């Protein structure tokens, strides 16, 4: 059995260079690869194109890379709670391609499945459809969307084994399984790393065939993007 474990974070992100395209799993701050992002924020790599649902917050997650101006283009569906993301987008410093959330998920899944493009009704009649081919199916207009792939995909799972098989937990599953399929090199960080055979095959969400490198994260802050609590009555 192939052992895909890397022992250091530097080994995990080895090969990342300026001007590359990479995917980052997560939704808000749920299920983001915290350790990989922090390590990337300390590298001298710039001009990156990042495919991610959103960009974290100003001082955490992908916000760390935006703060250092490492990202030149965001392909995402939500600006979120990141004021720096909003500022760079409105000032023209950051190129942003905003995509309907379902279309973004399907473009990643299609890329991982080897499907080059697909038609969807989402976005027709809006700026999203500008310059795209339109066809009618079942009496409804659909626009052509191209699949997305990346040089690297960074994902976060709850458990993984040394062969790269992954299990996600709760809402942290989100974009991670789709993006794990679509990276030329997929790097998975996990909270718990176990030997092959420890995971129930019926519970595995991402088969190890899609993962090239795996490591156990050193720490997880697991912040909440926007905490809302009920006041005492």
| Secondary structure class of 84 (helix, strand, coil) | helix
Match 């993984």 to its residue by tokens.
Answer: 160
| Secondary structure class of 103 (helix, strand, coil) | helix
Query: Which pLDDT score, from 0 to 100, does residue 220 have?
Result: 85
Q: Please write the tens of the pLDDT for every residue from 23-72.
A: 999 998 999 999 999 999 999 999 999 999 998 888 899 999 999 999 99
119: which strand partners? 144
Instruction: Copy the structure tokens of residue 111.
Output: 């890329």
pLDDT at residue 135 above 90?
yes
Alpha carbons 228 and 221: distance in angstroms, whole number: 18
**How many residues does the structure list for the chain?**
233
Are 174 and 26 within 8 A, CB to CB?
Answer: yes
Q: Please write the tens of the pLDDT for every residue from 75-100.
A: 999 887 788 988 999 999 999 999 99
Q: How far is CA 104 from CA 25, 74, 89, 123, in A?
A: 12, 12, 19, 11
Q: Please write the tens of the pLDDT for every residue from 185-200.
A: 999 999 999 999 999 9
Q: If 0-12 CB within 10 Å is exposed, 13-18 middle and 19+ buried, where does residue 230 land?
A: exposed
State the greatest distance between any 2 C-alpha atoms of the chain, in Å, as a whole number: 58
Match 């279309």 to its residue by tokens.
Answer: 103
Query: Which pLDDT score, from 0 to 100, does residue 218 have?
Result: 85
Domains and their CATH numbers in the chain: 9-116+149-216 (3.40.1080.10)
Over range 165-171, report the average pLDDT. Answer: 96
Alpha carbons 55 and 59: distance in angstroms, whole number: 11
Query: Which pLDDT score, from 0 to 100, does residue 76 have?
Result: 94
Alpha carbons 139 and 23: distance in angstroms, whole number: 35
Q: Please give the share of the chain, as a percent, with pLDDT higher than 70.
A: 99
Q: Please write the tens of the pLDDT for every residue from 112-128.
A: 999 999 999 999 999 99
63-68 contacts at long range (C-beta below 8 A, 24 or more positions apart): 64/37, 64/38, 65/37, 65/40, 65/41, 66/94, 67/41, 68/41
Poorest-confidence range of 51-55, 117-121, 155-159, 218-222?
218-222
Please give the mean pLDDT across all residues of the chain.
94
């Amino acid at each position: 059995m192939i052992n895909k474990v890397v022992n250091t974070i530097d080994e995990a992100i080895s090969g990342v260079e300026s001007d590359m395209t990479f995917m980052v799993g997560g939704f808000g701050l749920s299920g983001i690869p915290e350790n990989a992002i922090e390590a990337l924020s300390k590298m001298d790599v710039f001009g990156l194109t990042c495919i991610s649902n959103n960009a974290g917050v100003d001082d955490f997650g992908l916000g760390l890379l935006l703060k250092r101006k490492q990202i030149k283009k965001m392909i995402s569906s939500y600006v979120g709670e990141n004021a720096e993301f909003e500022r760079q987008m409105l000032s023209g410093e950051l190129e942003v391609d905003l995509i309907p959330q379902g279309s973004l998920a399907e473009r990643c899944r299609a890329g991982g499945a080897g499907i080059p493009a697909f038609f969807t009704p989402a976005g027709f009649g809006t700026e999203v459809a500008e310059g795209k081919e339109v066809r009618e199916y079942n009496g409804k207009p659909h626009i052509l969307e191209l699949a997305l792939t990346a040089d690297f995909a960074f994902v976060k799972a709850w458990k993984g084994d040394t062969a790269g098989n992954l299990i996600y937990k709760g809402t942290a599953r989100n974009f991670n399984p789709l993006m794990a399929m679509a990276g030329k090199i997929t790097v998975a960080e996990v909270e718990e790393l176990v030997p092959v055979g420890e995971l129930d095959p019926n519970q595995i969400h991402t088969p190890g065939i899609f993962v090239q490198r795996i490591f156990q994260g050193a720490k997880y802050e697991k912040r909440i993007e926007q905490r809302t609590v009920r006041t005492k009555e």
